[in-house]
A and B are shown apart, each in its own frame.
Chain A
Amino acid sequence: MRMLWYAFDEALSSLWRGRRSALLAMATIAIALFVLGASLIVTGNLDRLGAEWARAAELSVYLSDEVTPVDRHAIELAVARDDVTAGHEFVSKAEALRRFKQTFGDLAAAVDNVGGNPLPASVEVRLRPGTADGPGVEQLATRLRQMTGVADVRYDRQWLTRMLRGIRVIRGAGFALSSMLTLAAVLTIANVVRLALHARRDEIEIMQLVGAPRAYIRGPFVMEGVIQGGMGAALAVLGLGVVFAVLQSGYLMPLAGALNLSSVQFLSVSACAALVAGGMAVGCLGGFVAGFRS
């Protein structure tokens, strides 16, 4: 405990003496973790969007106007018996028109002008969670297309697949960028600590000559790195919070609404804590690398 207190005390004094370079190191790690945090926020919300879309994914079976009750029954039976379906609903031509007018009120007059009801009847199929991007849906769609009375089959798989691929790319790019920035942060911290080490070489030599435990010699440098890393990470989380709060009402919520996402979420408390802990670990590594030769 005494050693920890000594290391903390010495690290704070050293940081204050070299505050300019320490600020630079903190800014570097703050930028690295800001990018990582932003990437986590974006991919986290995209994951949720993907999950919500997958849950809401529907397969629409459009029926031809000439479909007979027997054909329709056969189609509904084929849907109901398939493993990928969670349920289905028949939407008549009249119901389809009513829903269209409700959703697109401005276009209702245009539909009336066309004369008659141009919208087809359909069977809306709810898919089981986790099956939307699987092969079973494709097989069901192929079978349905071949049935009498089916005009077309549409479902969201391509969208989902593209979106999931996009999420993976964004996540990979975010991690790659933040990894490079984190490496830069480690090197910056190591150099700042090395400067502090150089400034205190007389003290270190005396410590070595009087037989100070190695923990007392290296501890302050490692602690210096930990403090820089922790403060940089805390700055990053604070910055993310401020940017998120500023963008939330003006941009993020309308965007979420447009994408049918229930809400846009910030990082969880545990993710914030993990970011700060990660920053401290990065700083610790930098301090250890610099202090290793002492």
Chain B
Amino acid sequence: MVETSHLSKLYKRGVYALRDLSLTVEKGEFLFLTGPSGAGKTTLLRLLLREELPTEGELKVLGRDLRTLRPSQVQTFRRSVGFVFQDFRLIPRFTVFENVAFVMRVLGLPATTQQRKTFQVLKWVGLQHRIHAFPEELSGGEQQRIAIARALVNDPQLVLADEPTGNLDPDLSLEIMNLFREINTRGTTVIVATHDRELIRRVGRRSITLEQGRLVQVA
């Protein structure tokens, strides 16, 4: 599913955000990326989503070599990947329904498919009753569940989440992690970046620790 070999990312100012990272994530696996701020977690996720290109090393995701993808192939690749942000990134002027359906709308799917799949995924995250609400009317936990619904609505093979519980209290964080576990039990590969070691311990899945861009621990 994900294969990196001696992967490095060097920024222009001469700082390595990632250095010599070799990692394999199997299909259907749940992996935590952890480490302090600036360890390289977000950089790795950005590379996995092909938002950036590595400076050195090999990078394969879903069987594709991300270093050689053309722009049109990047678009196709990203349709197989769901992404969840720490700050939710919901569109304020859209309702809950529109925020989730938006993904299918811009992919040109028919309106009936948009409706059916949006209802399904909102029901799955337990927010079908807030369908007409706007993001500002929702709690932080609810907003993150909508963001997860948006990431899942296109049936991705891989879900990437960058500090998805960073703005939530511990109970809500566990609730959100349980959603990721459910996603994973359906066969979707999940990679979650978090610095919350307690949460990792409670969920109990494989984790890798990064420090200054290097892999320092696999647990």
Interface residues of B (CB under 8 A from A): 49, 51, 71-72, 74-79, 81, 83, 89, 91, 102-103, 105-108, 150, 154
Contacts and interface: CB of A to CB of B under 8 A. Distances in A.
Interface in A203-219: 203, 205-214, 216-217
Contact of B105 (A6, A205, A214): A6
Interface residues of A, number: 17
Q: Taking chain A's interface residues, is the majority helix, strand, or loop, or is none over half, making it mixed?
A: helix
Interface of A: 2-3, 6, 202-203, 205-214, 216-217
B91 A210 contact: no
Nearest to A216: B106
A177 to B, nearest CB: 41
Contacts of B106: 6, 207, 210, 212-213, 216-217
Contacts of B103: 206, 210
A207 B94 CA distance: 14
Contacts of A217: 106
A214 B107 CA distance: 10
Given A210-B78, A211-B79, 10 more contacts: A6-B108, A203-B91, A206-B91, A206-B102, A208-B78, A210-B154, A211-B74, A211-B81, A216-B107, A216-B108
Contacts of A214: 71-72, 75
B89 A205 contact: yes
A211 B77 contact: yes
10 contacts: A3-B108, A206-B91, A206-B150, A208-B78, A209-B49, A210-B79, A210-B106, A211-B79, A212-B75, A213-B107
Nearest to A2: B108
Among A2, A3, A217, chain B packs the most CB atoms within 10 A around the CB of: A2
B154 to A, nearest CB: 7
Nearest to A17: B93
Contacts of A211: 74-79, 81, 107
B99 to A, nearest CB: 9
Nearest to B108: A2
Contacts of B77: 211
Nearest to B153: A210
Nearest to B75: A211
A2 B81 CA distance: 24
Query: What are the nearest 4 A-B pairs in CB distance?
Result: A211-B78, A212-B106, A211-B79, A211-B75
A207 B106 CA distance: 7
Nearest to A6: B105
A143 B102 CA distance: 85
B104 to A, nearest CB: 9
Contacts of B49: 209
Contacts of A216: 106-108
A216 B49 CA distance: 20
Nearest to B76: A211
A40 to B, nearest CB: 41
A206 B108 contact: no
Contacts of A6: 105-106, 108
B83 A209 contact: yes
A212 B74 CA distance: 10
Contacts of A3: 108
A216 B78 CA distance: 15
B89 A206 contact: yes
Contacts of A207: 106
A2 B112 CA distance: 13
A282 B90 CA distance: 34
Contacts of A210: 78-79, 83, 103, 106-107, 154
Given A203-B91, A206-B89, A213 B108 contact: yes
A213 B71 CA distance: 10
Nearest to A205: B89
Nearest to B74: A211
A9 to B, nearest CB: 10
Nearest to A206: B89
A292 to B, nearest CB: 13
Contacts of A213: 75, 106-108
A217 B72 CA distance: 13
A196 to B, nearest CB: 13
